[in-house]
Amino acid sequence: MIKVLVVDDSVVIRRLVTDLLKADPEIEVVGTAVNGRAGVEKVALLQPDLVTMDIEMPEVDGIEAVRRIRATGNRVPIIMFSTLTERGAVATLDALAAGASDYVAKPANVGSVGRSMEQVRDALIPRIKSLVPHHRAPRPEAAARPAPAAREAAPVTLRPARSAPAGGYRLLLVGSSTGGPEALGTLLSALPPLPVPVVIVQHMPPLFTRQLAARLDRNVAARVVEGQQGQALLPGTVTIAPGDHHLHVTSSSGRLVARLSQEPPENYCRPAVDVLFRSAVDTVGGAALAVVLTGMGSDGCRGAELLVEAGGSVVAQDQATSVVWGMPGAVAGAGLVEQLLPLPDIAPEIVRRIMPQRTPVTAAGATR
């Protein structure tokens, strides 16, 4: 059983979340708390496998509660409940920066309690079941057996490393999901402005991607923007696909250009990494380097396969540094990856491949 603590000041939300979690035979709600202060105390007392945490609460809010839990060294996964507003987006990114693992949106304007429960269940339960196995330690009675991660991990065969295309890379592509905002901050902070455009798909709703781009733009050397229809994809600029829109790489008058669409979701996602990777192959062939970071699911695997077939290269984040090793694990398990690297080692590898005449640059040495 996965033991969950529910922290929320709303009686209605506490009951809704508790009821839908209890309906799953693999989940046990071991307690509830009415604010962040009580939540921090119950984390220490109950030792849950996962915490759901509201953001806005009296006495101690969810962001401060996350900080206090992390300050004790406790790495229990924490899923925030967020509102789909500008303010909610900023607060959610603050919570992720404080150490939260992921977030789900509170139900809004869905018409009925039943629909609200369905909406939350579909978003929350897959996240719980993805986050907990990655963080949970083996029980004492299982000490003689292999740890779950070691037992369940599929063998990974790395592809031989390819040299850069004859004319050099024309694009750096990045896909991420659960754990992605913080991983992107770490990655981009360690990169200088690159001589190729960088295009990112991070699974996030509208407003959230805009706030993510603004936050990264303040903190990294490159210019970071949310993608717009017809925007030129330029060297030195990082473009993040906007929430609820696929971003396609196209060409116009010899320039790389972003095209946005609301074509059907792929892998239940819009934006989808597969759409980005596939469009890049259609436009630049194999002259792209793709990086797959932490995330739930397998979005990006089919697009990475097409990129490799076209002559491109794929690098992925390793399991140890991923919040969830779904997306990078999928491309690695499919035999599409040339290097499987800890997150801090990915930026130097990008620099080595795209700027071979340069030595790796860290955030401390980067200038804007």
> What's the gap between Cα 339 and its chain centre?
19
What is the per-residue pLDDT for 118? 84
**What is the per-residue DSSP string for 222-285?**
SEEEE--TT-B--TTEEEEPPTT-EEEEEEETTEEEEEEE-PPPBTTBSS-HHHHHHHHHHHHT
Nearest CA to 323 among 131, 163, 139?
Answer: 131
C-alpha 54/C-alpha 8 separation (Å) is 5
C-alpha 171/C-alpha 179 separation (Å) is 23
> What are the extents of the domains in the chain?
2-139, 156-365
Active site residue: 299, 313, 318, 322, which one?
299
C-alpha 52/C-alpha 197 separation (Å) is 37
What is the per-residue pLDDT for 366? 44
Residue 177 is a catalytic residue: yes
What is the per-residue pLDDT for 114? 72
Is residue 341 within 8 A of residue 292, CB to CB? The reply is: no
User: Phi-psi region for residue 221, left (φ > 0), alpha (ψ -120 to 50) or beta?
Assistant: alpha
Residue 261 is a catalytic residue: no
pLDDT tens digit sequence for 278-294: 999 999 999 999 999 99
* pLDDT tens series, the chain, 368 aa: 999 999 999 998 899 899 999 999 999 999 999 999 999 999 999 999 999 999 999 999 999 999 999 999 999 999 999 988 889 999 999 999 999 999 998 866 555 667 777 888 899 999 999 999 765 544 434 333 333 333 345 578 899 999 889 889 999 999 999 999 999 999 999 999 999 999 999 999 999 999 999 999 999 999 999 999 999 999 999 999 999 999 999 999 989 999 999 999 999 999 999 999 999 999 999 999 999 999 999 999 999 999 999 999 999 999 999 999 999 999 999 999 999 999 999 999 999 999 875 444 444 444 43
CATH architecture, domain 156-365: 3-Layer(aba) Sandwich (3.40)
Measure CA of the first residue to CA of the last residue in the chain; give whole Å.
Answer: 49
Active site residue: 82, 176, 177, 298, which one?
177
Active site residue: 49, 116, 203, 318, which one?
203
C-alpha 223/C-alpha 242 separation (Å) is 16
What is the per-residue pLDDT for 83? 86
pTM above 0.85, yes or no: yes
What is the per-residue pLDDT for 136? 56
Q: Dig out the tokens for 203 from the structure.
A: 């699974």
Name the CATH topology of 2-139.
Rossmann fold (3.40.50)
C-alpha 341/C-alpha 283 separation (Å) is 28
Residue 135 is a catalytic residue: no
Nearest CA to 314 among 299, 298, 323, 303?
Answer: 303
Is residue 257 within 8 A of residue 279, CB to CB? The reply is: no
Q: Do domains 2-139 and 156-365 have the same CATH topology?
A: yes
What is the per-residue pLDDT for 362? 45
On average, the pLDDT of the chain sits at 90
